[in-house]
Structure 1
Amino acid sequence: MTLPWGGLSCCLSAAALYLLGRSSGRDAEALKSVTRVNQLKELAQLLDLESKCLPLIVTISGRVGSETPINCQYSGLRGVIVEETAEQHYLKHNDAGSWIQDSALMLSMSKEVPWYLDDGTGRAHVVGARGATGFVLTVASEVFDESGRSLVRGTLDYLQGLKMLGVKRIERVLPTGTSLTVVGEAVKDDIGTIRIQRPHKGPFYVTPKTIDQLIANLGKWSRWYKYASMGLTVFGVFLITKHAIHYILERRRRRELQRRVLAAAAKRPGQDNESSDGKIENGSDCAKRDVLMPDLCVICLEQEYNSVFVPCGHMCCCTTCASHLSNCPLCRRRIEQVVKTFRH
């Protein structure tokens, strides 16, 4: 019996989506339970009162600021996190004789300076933002410089199967003044500087969405994952049930064919070898079965079988019935060729 891989795949995918839905739901519940700080000046007082025994997980909002911002080379913006990448684009001669476009990374550089959130009442420094959930840098500049190589260099590249197109430079930045919401553990050092960092256990988000938008979005994805999980489960169970029913009916059909063949063999004249007192002369059930088994076609049960199926090799049908079949009735393997056989 072959396994119903389609149904099993649907059930496994449904289980994965269900786990994702539960994870999103837990994150939404965790965000509902964090302490909301409306003004950053209140955060210092909360840390003095509530962070003595347990870590304080808070959500704060403000605008990005820094004492030493980075001046972006291409966009002219001032930011606190800047990532620059350069990709070489070229045409490559493949084995089929045509040119296909490809690219290779030439440069990847990242810069970050200490930065904070400021809402006008206070400041909170943010640490490790690039590892937070929901953190995305804005594409500030995207420039494509066409290749200006010399004739000699261009000829050498062409002989190697390359045509240089140019260099694409992308600059991503977190600009100063950007409004952000941060969810994380709030701590205060000995000199009174407040930091928001990744907690040992709990949510860590840096996102332009508000906390209410974040909770609503997680709840929506949680429901979508659960609905998709239910749909895939129903479909997977349907495929498995269909495969099981088909297998049971096929087994029943084979048993019925075998029974009909044995019944037809018992009615054939001269087939049974009887002794003088009218009894069958054999010593075991296996021998009796071999004697009663005729050489009849399993489809029509009238003609003797004389056709071999290629590639499975089964011989169980006459040429008339075999001409109407696409799969072997014994192993269900696809028939590629039917070869007629002769006994004499």
Structure 2
Amino acid sequence: MSHQEQALVSLLSQLALSFDGAVLGFALAYAAIRTFFKFSATSAALRKLRRAPYLSVSDLRSLLADSPPDADSTSDGGTIVIVRGTVDAKSAVDGSWKTLRPGVLVSRESGDKGVILQRTQTCIYNEWKGLLGWTSDLRAFIARSWRKQESTSLRKVPFVLIDVGRRPSTPEYVVVNMDGSRHPLPLTTVYHKLQPINASPYTFLQALFGHEYPVGLLDEEKILPLGKDITVVGLGSLNNGVAEIKSCKDLPYFLSDLSKDQMIVDLSIKTKILFWGGIAIGSMSVGILGYAVVRNWNKWKQWKLQRQLQQQRQAVNNVEPQIDDDEIEDVPDGQLCVICVMRRRRSAFIPCGHLVCCQGCAIAVEREVLPKCPVCRQEIRNSVRIFET
């Protein structure tokens, strides 16, 4: 670990442990609250998946036509369903003269056909610091997360699901509506190649001054191929008599390779991890915050006591200039103040009545948190100055 990394780690640790760990406690409490929110959302999704019917494409139309909206219906007018089918192009089932062209995408590198095509280019950089690259570590923490090293393009065409094992000519199909979906896609990698980048004179200068320079370009192509069996989880509805399914933002799945049972097992494991993780993080935050509260409360009481003592000293200093000179000059030993042993005894304590302190020391004793007579240790309420005739 470089010096810049050590300095950053030290700064973050000091910030987390400031106020006796209160900042760390609040951060853990925030993480625990977010964990419980995720647990609640995952549990709700799990309940919806368990109640959702798991059926084939041919059974979906009759279910949507005959069954009234139930508890799983949403404001969009759809019912949560789980459908297992085979991917096919929409042009294969349209039957219109406008669909004579195959509505599919073809991979430029492999030639495979699909309905979703994703191409990714990732530039790989060398991180050598170079001779003058002592600032590269700090730049790595600040700037690298903002800099894009990857570019992705995604193309989609309309597609449908047909029953598994049936020919594309079957009239039973369901249209998959991808609009607004941000769920992960079960794509298949059809092309993966790493190409080295030849060095140039500019590359030498980048290396010399510690700048990152590209050394390779990774090309990837992923598709959702025709004929792939997938599971679609979403809101089913009839659109002009045609069965349609679209994504539901409350569910973590839309297109998936998993079956209904596998999804339920996966979500059950996630709910348990989120539940116990939230309890563990919440317990840690409560313990750290409790410790921070006690420590800061004790520090506040100590600061308050010190401030009171400081005010008492200031009061004594303000009183001392008003003391008569005869209290200091030619004072017999039996009449000296028992505290400062410098001035004449002038103040008597109430209620014990002991005349053992000068005026300044009597005021200092009187302003203590628990004022007590220095002779009999009885608690006092006030002091009174005694004048000689």
Scaled to the shorter chain, the TM-score interval is: 0.5 to 0.7
Residues 314-325 of structure 1: matches in 2 within 5 Å?
none
Cross-structure match for 1:173: 223
Q: Deviations over 1:19-38 (max 9, x none)?
A: 1111110110111222332x
- 1:96 is displaced (CA, Å) by 5.3
Q: What amino acid does structure 2 have at the position aligned with 1:63?
A: T
| Structure 2 residue 159 is matched with structure 1 residue 110 | no
Bigger mean CA offset, 179-188 vs 116-125: 116-125
Cross-structure match for 2:117: 82
Q: What amino acid does structure 1 have at the position aligned with 2:35?
A: L
- 1:108 is displaced (CA, Å) by 3.5
C-alpha separation in 2, matches of 1:186 and 1:77: 30
**Could you tell me whether the CA contact under 8 Å between 1:273 and 1:280 is conserved in 2?**
yes
Q: Deviations over 1:278-302 (max 9, x none)?
A: 464538x9x8228999xxxxxxxxx
Cross-structure match for 1:235: 284
Task: State the secondary structure of the residue aligned to 1:131.
Answer: coil
Cross-structure match for 1:270: 341
- 1:136 is displaced (CA, Å) by 3.8
| Structure 2 residue 46 is matched with structure 1 residue 28 | yes
The alignment of Structure 1 onto Structure 2 pairs a total of residues equal to 283
| Structure 2 residue 239 is matched with structure 1 residue 222 | no
Cross-structure match for 2:201: 155
Residues 137-152 of structure 1: matches in 2 within 5 Å?
137-147=187-197
**Could you tell me whether the CA contact under 8 Å between 1:272 and 1:292 is conserved in 2?**
no
Residues 1-344 of structure 1: matches in 2 within 5 Å?
2=19, 4-37=22-55, 39-50=56-67, 54-66=77-89, 67=92, 68-91=103-126, 97-98=132-133, 105=149, 108-118=152-162, 119-120=164-165, 122-128=172-178, 131-147=181-197, 154-156=200-202, 158-159=204-205, 164-190=214-240, 192-199=241-248, 205-247=254-296, 268=339, 270=341, 273-275=344-346, 278=355, 280=357, 282=359, 288-289=363-364
**Could you tell me whether the CA contact under 8 Å between 1:272 and 1:291 is conserved in 2?**
no
**Could you tell me whether the CA contact under 8 Å between 1:187 and 1:194 is conserved in 2?**
yes
Q: What amino acid does structure 1 have at the position aligned with 2:217?
A: V
Task: State the secondary structure of the residue aligned to 1:111.
Answer: strand
Bigger mean CA offset, 74-83 vs 217-226: 74-83
C-alpha separation in 1, matches of 2:356 and 2:107: 105
**Could you tell me whether the CA contact under 8 Å between 1:138 and 1:172 is conserved in 2?**
yes
Q: Deviations over 1:292-326 (max 9, x none)?
A: 99xxxxxxxxxxxxxxxxxxxxxxxxxxxxxxxxx
**Could you tell me whether the CA contact under 8 Å between 1:132 and 1:204 is conserved in 2?**
no
Cross-structure match for 2:97: none
Larger radius of gyration: 2
Bigger mean CA offset, 56-65 vs 201-210: 201-210
- 1:70 is displaced (CA, Å) by 2.0
Q: What amino acid does structure 1 have at the position aligned with 2:41?
A: S
- 1:179 is displaced (CA, Å) by 2.2
- 1:181 is displaced (CA, Å) by 1.1
Q: Deviations over 1:162-187 (max 9, x none)?
A: 85534321112222232211111222
- 1:112 is displaced (CA, Å) by 1.4
C-alpha separation in 2, matches of 1:256 and 1:109: 67
- 1:220 is displaced (CA, Å) by 1.6
Structure 2 vs 1, CA of residues 31 and 50 (structure 1 numbering), >3 Å: closer, same or farther?
same
C-alpha separation in 1, matches of 2:45 and 2:202: 56
**Could you tell me whether the CA contact under 8 Å between 1:32 and 1:215 is conserved in 2?**
yes
List gaps (5 residues or longer) in structure 2. 1-17, 71-76, 93-102, 167-171, 313-336, 349-354, 369-389
C-alpha separation in 2, matches of 1:93 and 1:203: 40
- 1:59 is displaced (CA, Å) by 0.9
Q: TM-score, normalised by structure 1?
A: 0.66
C-alpha separation in 1, matches of 2:81 and 2:114: 25
Q: TM-score, normalised by structure 2?
A: 0.59
Task: State the secondary structure of the residue aligned to 1:230.
Answer: helix
C-alpha separation in 2, matches of 1:51 and 1:126: 22
Structure 2 vs 1, CA of residues 271 and 241 (structure 1 numbering), >3 Å: closer, same or farther?
farther
C-alpha separation in 2, matches of 1:140 and 1:271: 98
